[in-house]
Structure 1
Amino acid sequence: MGIWALTIKDIRIILQDRGALYTLLALPVVFIAILGVSTGQLLSTRDELKLIKIGLVDEDKTELSEQVYHDLSMIGGLKVDKISTRDDAAIRLQDGRSGIVIVLGKDFDDRVEELDLSDVFDAQNGKLSQGVEALDMQVLSGASYVGVSDLVEYVVLSAVLKVVSPEVVRRNPLLRRLIDRMKERHAEDALPKPPVIAVVKSGSSIIYQTLVPAFIVMFAFFLVNIMASSFISERQLGTLKRMQTTRITPSQLLCGKTLPFLLISIAQSSLLFLSGKIMFGMSWGTYPFLLIPVIITTAVSATGLGLLLATFVRTESQVASYSTFLVVVLAGISGCYMPRDWLPELMKTVSLGTPHAWALIAYQELLTHPHPSLNVVGECCLMLLGFGVIAFILGWIRFRKLEYHI
């Protein structure tokens, strides 16, 4: 019995084991689908997810307040909806239907009438130094924007002033005539221009570019459970002893037992990337072909770790406890549960002792950078390959001592 015969045998066994297939292939896809449903990706159009949802309560109901609504609606990346009352606005903020709520009070138009040129051109010292409250406005931020509420208020005030400023300037006869002449000149010189397309960097896309690879890496190492169980089954059935009596060497035996899981790991990661593309429209980066070496070296690292674990466990209960502990802890340390950028510097340094971290760094470089560094990706692949080779050698040494008593 050669390496390929062992490989084909184990592949057939795995394909017949629905539990193993579910854990390796179906469970990760289901998990990512749940992620999409929980974030709204699978239940909303992609264009809607790229928009910041703003609710507008118009208590002023004047031509000027209507112009504010119109101008805000024309800004790319915003989806502005009118809300009837402040109570409704509060409910929409709580349930997430609106990320930001703008309230134009009943005195909005009157407050604008009270402004003069000095207030517009010297906002730091004039009436507008009070911010949006000077115009009888309120800006309420939902949970997603509460940390940047001051910035949101500043942006909203700037957008409103774009509408308000011309109204203030027109009260000066000299400036009004100057503005009218400028408009006439621009109208004469204006040429047809192509429509401006607002390019919005979708926050949800960035999230998926980070989270989907993180879960791909985490589930890649779920392989150690199935791989260790395979060795346990071979021992219990006695087939491992029978194979040792043939001409097959320990190295050939381990390669034949490892190769099928390597191929399945590669297929698993490829399937999950395809699922991310279909479910979330996630990009495969500027150089999609560079994902291939990362996928392969991650699989090598996972199968090497699986082989090493298989030499330590002797019962199914040990497989369940040891492998679960190993997968959960390594995923937590490396940054699979949250973006690595959120980890403290000390934890980032510690995480480099795990293969997960190097896989995450490579995926982040390829998927979130328009011009990824090939040196960084190459270094990560070498580290992953090193983890896998070292784990395989250690597993091979332990296997010879335990099974062949050498």
Structure 2
Amino acid sequence: MTLAMFRVMALELWRDRGALVMAFFLPPLVFLIFSAVFSGTTGENIKLRIAVADAAHTEGSRRLLAALTADPSLRAEPVTPQTYAEVRRQVRSSQADAGLVIRADPGAEGSPIVILADQTRQVAAPLVQARTQQVMARAMPDVLLARTVRDIGPALGDLTAEQQDTLKMAQKEARDDAAQGKPTDAQQSMFAREDVAGAKKGGGTIVYYAGAVTVLFALFSAMHGALSLIDERRSGIADRIMAGRAGMGPVVTGKFLFLGLQAAVQAGAIFLTATLVYGTPLLAHLPLWCVTTAAVSVCSGGLALGLVSVCRTRDQAQMLSTFVILVLAAIGGSMVPRFLMPPWLQAVGWATPHAWVIDAYQAVLWRDEGPDTLYKAWLVLGLTGAIGLMVAQITTRYARR
């Protein structure tokens, strides 16, 4: 009996060529995708987008700006205009992962460089500081040496003329060593950090993961509900319905409406919890949140029905839906923030609904943006759901057991 059952299951899998391919082809593919996603999240491989502004316009600041833009470990781009406000705007709007401003006035703390970061990407600030220190140590060790001497000056007293000459010679040697590619150990913290949003507002990370969990469970639930299309086809119910005048069209539309409503209720539960526990400003942005949630509902319901409708068996549908959900979640930012991924994978992430959903909820509840920014996400999510629904309508119309 044991061998007979083994043989039956093996034959079922062998005859279902679609499920067979998915069972043994998709796992290695998922591995390759996940390895690409998570291998790029180590400190050595992360290439952050940095908005840089030189407000000092000195010889040293120009050297630092040139060194930062030329460093291959960073994606540093000078902003236009070269102002603190423009850097702050780009970081707040997520056009840059972090910002760096070389200040003309070092401020009360005496730090000539300020790093701006969003609370949703807090790890970006220390990474930018560490990379900038490495760049300065390689490209301008003489400036670091002069900074060190200036900082310890009050404890040592004024330098004599001979000591000043020695300092100038040491600076020249450090500059020459850097030009020749020789290593140097000169390091000194010259940085101040600043968040682009007030600390009391907080919740940037909470909003991020609320959006990530919302789209993840919306798709999970929608895929599970859409499997009823396969069950109805196998049981013969779909054939009886198609024999009628209306066909399967109303059935698919009804399922779409239910799955959409289910996703909206799930989103409401998640964000209500975030509001009660973490103080997420949901009520202050309720109209835009409702439109965004409606777009998420349309996307999840339509995408699930479209994917399941093209499968012939339940095994194929379950394997395909699991694969799609895992891959979209990984690439789209539900598992790891996208700014930690390799640049090419960040670009690919915009092909997933997850990236658009997370960015849209952050735009509403964290960045206080309006419809003029959100319409792109609404359009992409709505079109994705509409295309999926259309595929499901067409496919079920000609489906057979």
TM-score normalised to structure 1 length = 0.49
TM-score normalised to structure 2 length = 0.49
Query: Larger C-alpha radius of gyration, 1 or 2?
Result: 1
